[in-house]
Every structure is written in structure tokens, then in C-alpha cells.
């Protein structure tokens, strides 16, 4: 049994607001106060010495932590979210109070608290730093003093993180659960309650093939790789696996797609029937069933050969699929876009308008892995789940940090909820449009213990986050269940559907580690 706040009660009372500190200062004018300010992404020995030295100079040591939204040290920084950074510092006996500064610099904090001393690292003593000069100016205005702590040990959080990122997957999860007053038991209960749903999935079916080969010759006279064919395995992927995830959860799924009139069509229909997916798609005799065949040797993917027609489906098919959406009495609709003929700017709007019940939950994903799409063409959806590459493609932005990237996609798409997939780094969830506030988003790391095949992880997240939102209407719970599903998918070889039992087993494993 994991109790709420089980790791947080002991030191949480040290983490206070600026208002609390102002009141404390008014009541304790005779006490000497010193402030240390910084990011403290990874607390290293240099930080410890800095804090110990500062505490020797005053009665009260306040540590001010820079808020996540003001940290621009790298695309994925901070590595440790502000609430966890504050908790780490509060655990030190020498620290009396920790405050998360919502301003980019500590100027206002110094003005309001009027500490006797403000401590900075020794490396700032000779540098002409405009920020330091501003801090000294404020201190001088009321008689405060700046102190430079000894520099006998200097290190860098950035350097430490770049050399070896610490594994904080469980700490981040517990921090989020604690912040929103949730437990893993609540998450388990939500997974079990994903039932009696009917979901429409509209999108491109892809047959993902893996042709396993053995290398029998290298490049000799010609630059030709010689392979011995061993076996070929086909999986229903694309929007098909999204539908299969829903069926595997024990819920009803209505699958709307387009297949060619070929042998792969027979394979897809047989597999969907076996998986209990209701097929209500269209057979197009003039286009092939999309097939992407990866040639693999000793777990290395050597080559991918695709068979597809990505030209727009004719309008007759669009109208047929739209009628299916219009007549469906589902709880929600997922648009799973791989840009192989079904979706474009005009058809997206046409399909969306055909959904008569405006209260249905709408989710969308538009992938650019091997083709091109644009997540911003899915306007006013309840949930969108782009990955980082897709978000950068949509905004034509290669350099912004992920928080800025997510907030701009959120605003431009006019969505209600965004989950940005970050591959092995996990995800960032953007839950409202108050982007100036760090409460508008949170990050979680992947819970995959052994990554075998990450392909299809995003589809599992899309399916389970959508169902969770319909059941719980809780963005926090839905994000956690989504990343659990994605982590389970990473631990399977090939596009294999994820069941609720898979997720419950993953939660049970996590309980053993926290």
C-alpha cells in the first residue's frame, strides 16, 4: 500500500511561498538571514559546500530555486522538475526554508525579504556579470551585503547531467501523484474502470513487416549486401494497432480505414477479426494495402521497403467513411493519421463536421516518421499526441526548448490537452494554456525496464490516454496510464496490442521499486 505523501511529509513544511517568507521576516527582524539562489538541477558537493558556508554566516538560510519556466540551459532542461528540486534541498538540515521563485531572477525576492546577506559562488567574484551587479545594487539600497562562498570545489549540474543522466522515473512519478493528491491505487482503479466504451478509430492501416535475414556476404566487387532470408513476420500497424489496443482493453472499437484488394487485405481482416475489432472500412480496388517491410539482421534494421499509394482517397470513400462516423453512437473518436491517403486539411474538417454529437471526445495523432503530416491541421481537439519531431515540423522550429514547443502547439492547435512524446526521454503533458505558470505542464520518464522495440509505443499511449480521459476526465491519470501503456509496448517485439493486465502488471512492478 502506497500512502499519499509518504515521501514528502517530513520536509514539505520547509517549502514555502514568498508571502510566507515576507511574514517571517517581519516577525523576525533581529535574525540574520542569508539567501542562496540557483537552479540546483543536480545537487553536487560544490552546492553542499556553498550551503554549509552560507549557513555559518546567518541564523536562517533560505534557498531560492529557479522555476522550471525560466530555465533555458538546454532543450530538455531542467532534468529535475522544480517541486523535486525544492524537496531535495529541503532535506538538508542546514536549509531552513526553500522557495520556488516564479520570477526569472531573484531581484524581487531580495527587495521583499531584505536578507542580511546574499550568497553567490566564488566564480562570480571577478566576473562582470550584469545580474550580479543588479543584485549588489538592490542589496546596497537597504544595507545588505553580498558574500562569495569559497571555490575550493566547483562543478556543474549541466556537466554531470550530460555525462550521465540520473534515473528519476519513480521520483518524478511520486512527485506528480503527491502534487495532485493521487496514489498508484487510484491509477489501478482507473485502469480497471476502462470498460463499456465504444470508440471509433479512423485512419491509415499499415502492415508492418519484419524480414529477418542472416548476413552471408559483405561488399566485395560491388557495394552489395548479401543476405539469407530466414523468416518474415507481419503485424497490423498504423491506425490498425490503435484499434487493436482498444479491443485488447475489452472495449468495443469501430475501425474505419481503407484497404487495397490484395493478399494483405485478407491478412488484415483475419487479424482484426481475431482481435475482436469491428471492421467498417472500405476496400479500394485501385490502391494497395500499405506495407512497410523492414529487413533485419542481428537486430539491426538494414533497409525498409514500402509499398503504398499516398494520394488522396476519392471523395466517394470520404463520404462513405463520414456516414459511418455520423451514425456511430460512440464515446469518442480517434483520428490516427499516417498521411497515406485518408487525411488532409480538407478531409479532416469534413470528417470532423460529420460527427453529430459535439460532446464526443476527439483525439488525434499525425505522424511524420516516414511521410509528412501536420498536427496543427487537427484544430480544437480534446487531445493531440505529437512527438517532438512532429511538433518541430509543424512549427518549423529546430531549436526551441520542449516547454516552449509544447505551449505553442497547444495554442495554435487550440486543443484542450496535449501530450508530447519524447521517445526514450518520456513525455511532456501540457494541461492548460497558462504557460507562464509551471503548473501548466509536467514531465514523466518512460517506465520501460528493457526496451526491445519502441515502434508503436505512441499508438498505445494514444489509445489508452483517450480511453482514460473518457472514463476519468483527469489529465494527470490519463497521462500516467498512457505512458504505462507505451512503456509496456516498448518491451514487446513488434506491434503487439497492450491489455489492461499488461498495464496493471507494470504498476505492480513500479510499486516494488518505490
List, for residues 234-252, the tens digit of each pLDDT value.
999 999 999 999 999 999 9
pLDDT given at position 451? 87
Give percent of the chain with pLDDT exceeding 70.
91
The pLDDT-based confidence of 222 (bands split at 50, 70, 90) is confident
**Rounded (5°) CA angle 485-371-304:** 80
**What does the pLDDT read at residue 153?**
46
- Model confidence at 294, pLDDT cuts 50, 70, 90, reads very high
Question: 9-163 belongs to which CATH class?
Answer: alpha beta
d(Cα 140, Cα 122) in Å, to the nearest integer? 20
For residue 382, which of 414, 348, 406, 426 has the smallest C-alpha distance? 414
pLDDT score for 69: 84
- Please give the average per-residue pLDDT across 434-460, as a whole number: 90
Look at residue 203 and give its three-state secondary structure: strand
pLDDT at 186 over 60: yes
Q: Of the candidates 205, 224, 458, which has an alpha carbon nearest to the alpha carbon of residue 307?
A: 205
Say if residues 92 and 176 touch (Cβ distance below 8 Å). no
Highest mean pLDDT among 102-106, 130-134, 382-386: 382-386
More confident residue, 397 or 252: 252
Mean pLDDT of the chain: 89
Identify the pLDDT of residue 385: 97
Range scoring the smallest mean pLDDT among 11-25, 326-340, 378-392 = 11-25
> Would you say the pTM of this structure is higher than 0.85?
no
Choose among 472, 404, 413: nearest CA to 440: 404
DSSP 387: B
| Residue 48 or residue 333, greater confidence | 333
CATH of range 178-513; options 3.40.50.1860, 3.40.1190.20, 3.40.50.2300, 3.40.605.10: 3.40.1190.20
Tell whether omega for the bond before 78 is within 30 degrees of 0, i.e. cis.
yes
Residue 43 pLDDT: 79
Please name the helix (run of DSSP H) or strand (run of DSSP E) that holds residue 333, with its range, or none.
Answer: strand 332-337
User: What are the residue ranges of CATH 3.40.1190.20 in the chain?
Assistant: 178-513
Q: Measuring CA to CA, which residue among 243, 415, 429, 259 is closest to residue 336?
A: 243
Is the predicted pLDDT of residue 425 greater than 70, yes or no? yes
What is the full DSSP assignment across 127-183?
Answer: S--HHHHHHHHHHHHHT-EEEE---SS---HHHHHHH-----HHHHHHHHHHHTT--
Is the pLDDT confidence value at 455 over 50?
yes
**Residue 448 grid coordinates:** 520501460
What is the number of alpha carbons within 13 Å of residue 401 lying toward its C-beta?
A: 14
Nearby residues of 486 by Cβ (< 8 Å), 6 or more positions away: 421, 427, 446, 448, 457, 458, 460, 461
- If you ran DSSP here, which 8-state letter would residue 5 be given? T
Q: Read off the pLDDT band of 126 (50, 70, 90).
A: low
Quick: pLDDT tens for 202-211: 999 999 999 9
Average pLDDT over residues 337-364: 94
Cα–Cα distance measured from residue 351 to residue 198, given in angstroms and rounded to the nearest whole number:
18
CATH 3.40.50.620 domain extents, the chain: 9-163
pLDDT of residue 70: 84
Does the structure show a pLDDT above 70 at 5? no
What does each C-alpha distance from 134 to 102, 125, 128, 397 come to in angstroms? 18, 14, 11, 33
Amino acid at each position: 500500500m502506497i500512502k499519499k505523501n509518504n515521501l514528502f511529509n517530513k520536509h514539505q513544511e520547509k517549502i514555502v511561498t514568498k508571502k510566507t517568507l515576507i511574514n517571517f521576516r517581519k516577525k523576525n527582524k533581529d535574525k540574520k538571514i542569508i539567501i542562496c539562489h540557483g537552479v540546483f538541477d543536480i545537487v553536487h558537493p560544490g552546492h553542499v559546500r556553498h550551503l554549509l558556508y552560507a549557513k555559518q554566516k546567518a541564523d536562517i538560510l533560505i534557498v531560492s530555486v529557479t522555476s522550471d519556466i525560466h530555465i533555458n540551459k538546454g532543450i530538455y532542461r531542467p532534468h529535475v522538475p522544480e517541486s523535486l528540486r525544492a524537496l531535495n534541498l529541503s532535506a538538508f538540515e542546514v536549509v531552513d526554508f526553500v522557495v520556488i521563485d516564479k520570477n526569472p531572477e531573484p531581484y524581487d525576492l531580495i527587495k521583499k525579504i531584505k536578507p542580511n546577506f546574499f550568497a553567490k559562488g566564488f566564480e562570480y567574484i571577478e566576473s562582470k556579470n550584469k545580474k550580479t551587479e543588479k543584485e549588489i545594487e538592490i542589496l546596497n539600497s537597504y544595507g545588505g551585503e553580498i558574500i562569495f562562498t569559497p571555490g575550493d570545489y566547483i562543478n556543474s549540474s549541466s556537466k554531470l547531467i550530460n555525462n550521465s543522466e540520473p534515473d528519476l522515473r519513480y521520483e518524478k512519478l511520486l512527485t506528480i501523484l503527491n502534487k495532485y493528491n493521487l496514489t498508484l491505487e487510484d491509477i489501478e482503479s482507473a485502469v480497471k474502470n476502462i470498460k463499456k466504451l465504444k470508440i471509433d478509430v479512423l485512419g491509415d492501416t499499415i502492415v508492418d513487416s519484419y524480414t529477418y535475414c542472416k548476413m552471408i556476404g559483405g561488399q566485395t566487387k560491388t557495394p552489395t549486401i548479401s543476405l539469407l532470408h530466414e523468416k518474415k513476420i507481419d503485424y497490423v500497424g498504423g491506425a490498425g494497432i490503435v484499434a487493436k489496443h482498444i479491443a485488447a482493453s475489452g472495449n468495443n472499437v469501430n475501425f474505419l480505414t481503407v484497404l487495397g484488394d490484395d493478399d494483405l487485405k485478407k491478412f488484415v481482416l483475419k487479424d482484426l477479426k481475431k482481435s475482436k475489432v469491428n471492421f467498417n472500412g472500405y476496400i479500394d480496388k485501385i490502391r494497395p494495402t500499405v506495407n512497410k517491410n523492414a529487413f533485419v539482421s542481428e537486430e539491426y534494421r538494414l533497409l525498409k521497403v514500402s509499398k503504398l499509394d499516398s494520394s488522396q482517397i476519392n471523395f466517394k470513400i470520404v463520404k462513405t467513411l463520414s456516414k459511418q462516423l455520423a451514425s456511430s453512437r460512440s464515446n469518442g473518436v480517434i483520428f490516427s493519421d499516417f498521411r497515406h491517403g485518408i487525411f488532409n486539411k480538407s478531409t479532416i474538417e469534413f470528417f470532423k463536421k460529420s460527427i453529430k454529437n459535439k460532446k464526443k471526445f476527439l483525439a488525434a495523432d499525425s505522424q511524420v516518421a516516414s511521410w509528412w503530416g501536420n498536427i496543427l491541421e487537427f484544430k480544437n481537439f480534446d487531445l493531440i499526441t505529437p512527438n517532438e519531431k512532429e511538433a518541430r515540423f509543424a512549427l518549423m522550429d529546430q531549436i526551441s526548448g520542449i516547454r516552449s514547443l509544447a505551449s505553442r502547439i497547444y495554442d495554435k492547435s487550440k486543443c484542450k490537452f496535449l501530450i508530447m512524446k519524447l521517445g526514450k526521454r518520456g513525455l511532456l503533458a501540457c494541461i492548460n494554456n497558462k504557460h507562464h505558470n509551471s503548473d501548466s505542464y509536467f514531465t514523466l520518464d518512460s517506465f520501460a525496464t528493457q526496451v526491445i522495440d519502441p515502434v508503436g509505443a505512441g499508438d498505445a499511449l494514444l489509445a489508452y490516454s483517450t480511453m482514460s480521459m473518457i472514463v476519468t476526465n483527469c489529465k494527470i491519470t490519463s497521462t500516467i496510464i498512457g505512458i504505462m501503456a507505451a512503456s509496456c509496448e516498448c518491451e514487446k517485439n513488434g506491434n503487439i496490442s497492450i491489455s489492461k493486465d499488461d498495464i496493471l502488471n507494470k504498476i505492480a512492478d513500479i510499486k516494488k521499486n518505490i
